[in-house]
Structure 1
Amino acid sequence: MFIIFASKIVILLPTSHTIGQSFIELKEADSTNNYAMAAAKSESAPHGTAWYTDNQTAGRGQRGRAWASQPGENLALSILLDTSALPLTEQFAIIMLAALATYDLLLPIGKEKLKIKWPNDIYIGDKKAVGILTESVIKGHIWQWTIIGIGINVNQPSFAQNGLDHKVTSLFQYTGQKMDIKNLAKNLCTKLENRWQQLLQYGMDVLLEDYNKALLKKGETVRYKKQNDAIIACTILRADREGKLHVAHDGTEAVFSFGEIEFQMDQK
């Protein structure tokens, strides 16, 4: 079997388990990442195991933020990856893999309005539709396991109760059509497997090229807030292999790590 990425042809390597081959459906979960992390620590599930629910009660986002979701309306999926053969220096590869697989899944829906916001949110237009959280289990110098947690706003009609309608959107809000959430999750597993195979065969530079092509506001002047609350205007240039963002600011090129700056939603 082969998958075509633009002009690149990827022949799928045989593996003992593919992503989503073990697909565990949970009627309700505090966080699907908790299930995946418990399995990683106890080594009780194989590579590629997926935990899915449409009723996540205590999802987590980056920087410890909560990911609010109405029961039965949205997708929560966590994937366990055996990353023991990958170098610790390439952890951004998994962040890109997760973002690109989700981008691949939603591109027919969002088309030219679909973008990846550094480092790993997915936007449709100027609103967030997807949150991604990766967590690792590291033993000594071995990057043993990584958990990819993906939350997609699918059928939720409004986020007004959270005061987020101006910042967040769902696929339903964008298309006006309800979607089969579990089927979407299974298709996402396929997209993740395709990008995983691409990483194994070609390395992270191929992912980085695609990631930068899909980067939100690339080449545009935007505003970021620094840790000291200062607001800077800069032009987004690219992300690098370490996951750092390169921007043009005050006539020079500046480089920021995740957490050092925060994208300002209101760019007016």
Structure 2
Amino acid sequence: MNIIKLDATPSTNDFLKALLTKQFVENFTVVTTENQTSGRGQMGSVWEVESGKNLTFSVLVKDSLLEIHAIFHLNVLVAVSLSEVLEQLKIPYVAIKWPNDILADNKKISGILIENSLKSDGEIISVVGIGLNVNQKNFDNLPKASSLSVILNRELDKDAILVAIVERLKCNIALLQNKEYDLFWSKYSQKLFKKGVPMPFEDNVGVRFMGIIQGVTANGKLEVMLEDDSVKTFDIKEIQMLY
């Protein structure tokens, strides 16, 4: 496994993307850092972590997505792979909050940011960014966040967890290449946070309403049953869960 370890960098995703413009980079190359100074989450949100305590890394994935409309399959696969590793570590109540945050007992422990590029020859190259709270203990200003160490009440080996995640990704990507989408989509659906539970939402103009999550479409939109029993789909920028 090719792992590039950095003491600090603004963004492991940006570092890996820049490296791709300069040289050949082996598939599943990992860039990890002890201190990411400008980490990003979905929709440009900031991913802040305590230096040296957590896993912040990016993985190059190529030759796996065969069709541009299949991009969200990779999001699903990465979220499922992470949840499987966490369950092996005996983390309880693991859930996937749409589109791909990982929760444990309703608290966020991991975030995923995947950036895809389409080459002129049709090849799709993906940079999979993952932040996982491992040994951080202090979440005073983040009431909805936690870490593996807080949950298990012990320190964990970050390097071992990193290897386990990447190896699981490799195994599951074989399913993606064989177009065996149902195998990981079914796990994603089973783990979907608050699926089938009435809960409040807020749309992008501030209107609040009740709905019940039904599932997620193949292109990554959230399906919500409204109070009139109609089902509406929402993009990530159009809706926020209130929990």
**Do they fold alike, i.e. is TM over 0.5?**
yes
In the alignment, the residues of structure 2 paired with residue 116 and residue 168 of structure 1 have an alpha-carbon distance, to the nearest angstrom, of 14
> What is the identity percentage for the equivalent residue pairs of Structure 1 and Structure 2?
29
Q: Which residue of 2 aligns with 1:79?
A: 59
Shift of 1:79: 0.5
SS at match of 2:178: helix
Q: Aligned letter for 1:184?
A: I
TM-score (norm: length of structure 2): 0.94
- CA deviation after TM superposition for structure 1 residue 154, in Å: 0.5
Match status 1:23 vs 2:9? no
Instruction: Say whether the 8 Å CA contact 1:80–1:148 is kept in structure 2.
Output: yes
**Structure 1 residue 204, shift from structure 2 partner:** 2.4
- The runs of at least 4 consecutive aligned structure 1 residues that moved more than 6 Å come to none
Deviations 1:110-152 (A, max 9, x none): 5551000000000011111001000011235724311000000
Unaligned runs of 5+ in 2: none
Deviates more, 1:114-123 or 1:201-210: 201-210
Q: Give 5+ residue unaligned stretches, structure 1.
A: 1-20
Match of 1:198 among 175, 180, 202: 175
Residue number among 79, 86, 111 corresponding to 1:106 in the alignment: 86
Distance in 2, Cα, partners of 1:45 & 1:123: 32
Q: Which of these residues, 130, 138, 147, is aligned with residue 158 of structure 1?
A: 138
Are the aligned partners of 1:30 and 1:57 in contact in 2 as well (CA < 8 Å)?
yes
User: Partner amino acid for 2:241?
Assistant: F
Amino acid at match of 2:21: K
Per the alignment, residue 231 of structure 1 pairs with: 208
Q: Once superposed, what is the RMSD of the aligned Cα atoms?
A: 1.7
How many angstroms does 1:83 deviate by? 4.1
Asked whether the 8 Å contact 1:77–1:151 carries over to 2, the reply is yes
Q: Which amino acid aligns with 2:6?
A: L
Assess, with a 3 A threshold, how the Cα gap between structure 1 residues 110 and 125 changes in structure 2: closer, same or farther. farther
**Matched residues in 1 for 2:39 and 2:124: separation?**
23
Count of paired positions? 242
* Superposition deviation, residue 206 in structure 1: 2.4
Please show how residues 1-268 of structure 1 align to structure 2 within 5 Å. 21-83=1-63, 86-109=66-89, 111-140=91-120, 142-160=122-140, 163-164=141-142, 166-250=143-227, 251-264=229-242, 267=243
| Alpha-carbon distance in 1 for matches of 2:230, 2:22 | 48
